[in-house]
A and B are shown apart, each in its own frame.
Chain A
């Protein structure tokens, strides 16, 4: 069993003591733990020799980082112009019904988080959404349950 502390250390040890590496370190931690804990931000500040105020500024500035624990699977629904016109708000509505959580929230079992994003860069597939970096195009509200099914079982296996 690798402890949280150990995996945090192995991320920190990959980088030299240089403020330049702040973003990559935070990205790695976000990827591994799905959020940036107070403990991890303090360790980053010690390791890179940066004041915590600075680390905290950066961690709270970017939407890619979360200071609250996020779900294993991140669902990003596009609310960009093209997707909006093609009815993507209805996808969000459907997710509320299926998962019982609103945009920006995480299911109680920690399986799913729902986020709204502005343009995934694939407007021709509108309405689009992305789960863990995988894109789904021309999504219809009635398809959502089928798509999510895959991620439910995926998690059970590992």
Chain B
């Protein structure tokens, strides 16, 4: 890499050199400096939606010092940038952001823990949906469903204070494979799903999928449509795919003995 493609910045007093185009958050992670995030997920592009990852930044240009606050997950590094991740000012702003987020997701464990740390008042604001959805509209679930899993079962709908994540006309049933990626990325635990006997019931999207029973032990393990989807994506004998992970391991163990 050429020198002009490298930026040297300082985060909480520690110097680090990063490739151009990297973000401040990536730099902090490499240095082991913790910045709280909600809408950031390593598998997906950063989106700057929750604003919790704000930090104080400053830079000297033409003899003048410029300082500002910005979201570190989307801020590209710049030579000479000085970043401060935990100043009183940053903490004050984060407190306000948390109070706003808590009005949308009052039941979120993650948010409630942060609220204690930042002394945020959970009841300061009332959101238009009274916090019923527990969704902060970070957009991760929609992104993972549409752009990583390519299922396109859920999307955002309406706008402004009415915006929400939905299964359009509840048609998600037809395309959802029950991969549960949406649940795994959701920072607030807003998406509800349960195993009910032989069914996987994703209540939030109104999806009910029949589980496949393991061909060896008979235990329901993955939704049938999920296994069908895997057939096209992984190179594994169909017989193996129809076994639960536990039984699959047994087969493998036997084969290496």
Q: Could you tell me how many residues of chain B have their Cβ less than 8 Å away from some Cβ of chain A? A: 15
Task: Known pairs A53-B142, A54-B146, A56-B155; list 9 more (Cβ under 8 Å).
Answer: A41-B168, A41-B169, A52-B152, A53-B154, A54-B152, A56-B168, A57-B155, A57-B157, A61-B159
Residues of chain B within 8 A of A51, CB atoms compared: 146, 152, 155
- Nearest Cβ on chain B to A47's Cβ, whole angstroms: 16
A38 close to B (CB within 8 Å): yes
Which residues of A are at the interface with B, using a C-beta cutoff of 8 A?
Answer: 38, 41-42, 51-57, 60-61
Contact A56 B157 (CB under 8 A): yes
Contact A53 B152 (CB under 8 A): yes
Main secondary structure of the interface of A (DSSP, over half): helix
Report the Cα distance A52→B151, complex, angstroms.
11
- Nearest Cβ on chain B to A67's Cβ, whole angstroms: 9
Contact A53 B159 (CB under 8 A): no
B66 close to A (CB within 8 Å): no
- Nearest Cβ on chain A to B175's Cβ, whole angstroms: 8
Residues of chain B within 8 A of A38, CB atoms compared: 169
A38, A41, A42, A60: residue with the most chain B Cβ atoms closer than 10 Å: A60
Report the Cα distance A53→B142, complex, angstroms.
9
Residues of chain A within 8 A of B142, CB atoms compared: 53
B247 close to A (CB within 8 Å): no
16 contacts between A and B (CB under 8 A): A52-B169, A53-B142, A53-B146, A53-B153, A54-B146, A54-B152, A55-B168, A56-B166, A56-B169, A57-B155, A57-B157, A60-B157, A60-B159, A61-B157, A61-B158, A61-B159
Q: Which B136-183 residues have C-beta < 8 A from chain A?
A: 142, 145-146, 152-159, 166, 168-169, 171
Report the Cα distance A128→B168, complex, angstroms.
36
Report the Cα distance A51→B156, complex, angstroms.
12
Closest partner residue, chain B, to A57 (CB atom)? B155
Closest partner residue, chain B, to A61 (CB atom)? B159
Residues of chain B within 8 A of A57, CB atoms compared: 155-157
A-B residue pairs, 7 tightest by C-beta? A53-B155, A51-B152, A56-B168, A60-B157, A60-B158, A57-B155, A53-B152
- Nearest Cβ on chain A to B168's Cβ, whole angstroms: 4
- Nearest Cβ on chain A to B186's Cβ, whole angstroms: 17
- Nearest Cβ on chain B to A4's Cβ, whole angstroms: 18
Report the Cα distance A49→B154, complex, angstroms.
16
Report the Cα distance A1→B156, complex, angstroms.
38
Residues of chain A within 8 A of B152, CB atoms compared: 51-54
Closest partner residue, chain B, to A60 (CB atom)? B157
Residues of chain A within 8 A of B159, CB atoms compared: 60-61
Closest partner residue, chain A, to B164 (CB atom)? A60
Report the Cα distance A61→B163, complex, angstroms.
9
Closest partner residue, chain B, to A54 (CB atom)? B155
B142, B152, B154: residue with the most chain A Cβ atoms closer than 10 Å: B152
B142, B153, B154, B169: residue with the most chain A Cβ atoms closer than 10 Å: B169
Residues of chain A within 8 A of B145, CB atoms compared: 53
- Nearest Cβ on chain A to B39's Cβ, whole angstroms: 18
Closest partner residue, chain B, to A63 (CB atom)? B159
Residues of chain A within 8 A of B171, CB atoms compared: 42, 52
